[in-house]
Amino acid sequence: MFSLAAFAWLFWRLEARGAGSDGERTRLPLVSFVFFALWANLHAGFVYGLFLLGVYAVDEAAERRCRVPLLVLAAGVLGSCATPYGVRLPLMLWEHLREAEGIQRLILEWAPLSLSRPGHWPSWLLLFGAGLAALAALLRGRPARPARLVTLAIFGLAALRHARVLGAFATLAVPFVAAAAAAHWGDLRPRLRAALDSRALRASAMAACGLWGLWLTWPAGTFLAVSHEQLLPVRAVRYLRAHPELRDLRLYHPWGWGGYLGYRLGPGTKVFQDGRYLFHGLLMEAGAASRSPEGWQGFLDRHGVDAALMENVPLFQETTRQYPDGTRRAFRRPFYLSFMPAGKWALVHWDDRGLLFVRRGVLAPERLAGLEYRLARPRDDEALADVLRRGEIDAALLERERARHEAESQAL
């Protein structure tokens, strides 16, 4: 939200570039430095602002034949480096841009615009409207300012490739389309023009947009709760807090859970990854590794993972068991049996959201034996019932583990 507000304010000031005295304009480089220093320390969306400022600065410098706009741009670039990372921040963002194609397969907001998503339908209309408005202005012999066309085109193309850019594009496109519509309304009859330009119509349009957004987000529970714990590893985090020796291990966890784990486990916890840009390379590496059990084990080994909190999702693999009499039977067994093999990893906790594994050899054998579930496993009931019926496992141990899991679930 801060980046959208800052982007909108910057766009407004660039469009009102003629306002102000010469003395006020000479202070613009200082304003630009402070503005981008603040923005860069709060959110990486400042790069959108720098690009917008750059296009307008070049356009105005060429039109007015003065250096002030370029000085304002240079001050903004310097201000964006006034962070604890210094010049490394722009370099890191450059790496992030290089990773954008891979990220769009893993993070929904970085995916391209899609007609299959109702939330994107207004954006398609806005893209079409902006293109139509630019064409209409050209045909009327009053083409739009070059800076407007360039920024609209670049941000429009970027929004087509990455839905995350839609906020910036809409900030530019809505005033542009509205201005084109107003120019067209000027040729209409006064009564109709007054009706289209009324405050009631504007308020109705804004209300319609708000209701559309509410209709899209209400099924997901938006505005109904501060957080949606059904999507988070609440019980697994409680288990980790109750077992400090596990919390202090190098713990893998999904990208989307990093912020929650860091918040609940305290400032001393080092998250494996979270939503910050600096983890996008790791996110893509994990995504590639998850294509096979061998690749996944290699990923965990490379990063020295001693414990892994996995999502308890209904992913299964088809397996076939051959019995001593030569008969065969197919079973659908959970993914973690091959991705987190029992010979290397011990299952110590599970609930509706998460599975917690500990690497063998990290804890003392007697301690691990008291935590591990050797027989009781989630989503493997069919295969477990088969070996139990054949007397191939210790039924008493299975019942003890089930009772322990039930007691643990109630306690958490």
**pLDDT at 19 (0 to 100):** 43
- Which residues, at least 6 apart from 278, have a Cβ–Cβ distance to it below 8 Å? 92
**What span, in angstroms and rounded, lies between the C-alpha atoms of 240 and 356?**
9
Q: Mean pLDDT score of the chain, rounded to an integer?
A: 87
Residue 65: left if φ>0, alpha if ψ -120 to 50, beta else—which one?
A: left
Beta bridge partners of 316: 334
**Helix 46-64 vs helix 2-15: angle between axes, to the nearest 10 degrees?**
10
pLDDT, tens only, 333-352: 999 999 999 999 999 999 99
Taking the whole predicted model, whether its pTM rises above 0.85 is answered as: no
CA distance 106 to 164: 13
Which residue has tokens 């893993």? 106
pLDDT of residue 355 exceeding 90, the answer is yes
- pLDDT of 21 higher than 50: no
In this predicted model, what pLDDT tens digit does every residue of 362-395 receive, in sequence order? 999 999 999 999 999 999 999 999 999 999 999 9
Which residue stretches of 248-394 are H helix?
A: 258-265, 280-289, 293-302, 336-339, 365-371, 381-389
Q: What is residue 395's predicted lDDT score, i.e. its pLDDT?
A: 93
The pLDDT, as a whole number, for residue 278 is 77
Q: How far apart are CA 174 and CA 156, in angstroms?
A: 12
Rounded mean pLDDT, 55-66: 84
- Dihedral pair phi/psi, residue 287, rounded to 5°: -60, -40
Q: Using CA atoms, how far apart are residues 360 and 71, in angstroms rounded to an integer?
A: 60
Token pair, residue 228, equals: 């949606």
Q: In 3-state terms, what secondary structure has residue 308?
A: strand
Distance CA 239, CA 261 (A): 12
How is residue 341 annotated by DSSP?
-
The whole-number average pLDDT for the span 56-70 is: 83
263-276, pLDDT tens digit by residue?
Answer: 999 888 889 999 88
Closest listed residue to residue 261, CA positions, set 207, 225, 309: 309
CA dihedral 144, 147, 148, 149 (to 10 degrees): 70
Q: Which two tokens stand for residue 201?
A: 């119509």
Report DSSP letters for 33-51, one per residue: HHHHHHHHHH-TTHHHHHH
- Please write the tens of the pLDDT for every residue from 91-127: 777 777 777 777 777 777 778 888 888 888 888 988 9
Three-state DSSP class for residue 316:
strand
Q: What is the pLDDT of residues 203-255, one digit of tens each?
A: 887 888 888 888 887 877 777 776 778 889 999 999 999 998 998 899 999 99
pLDDT computed for residue 405 by the predictor: 96
Q: Percent of the chain scored above 90 by pLDDT?
A: 50
Determine the pLDDT at residue 120.
84
256 vs 231: CA distance, rounded Å: 10
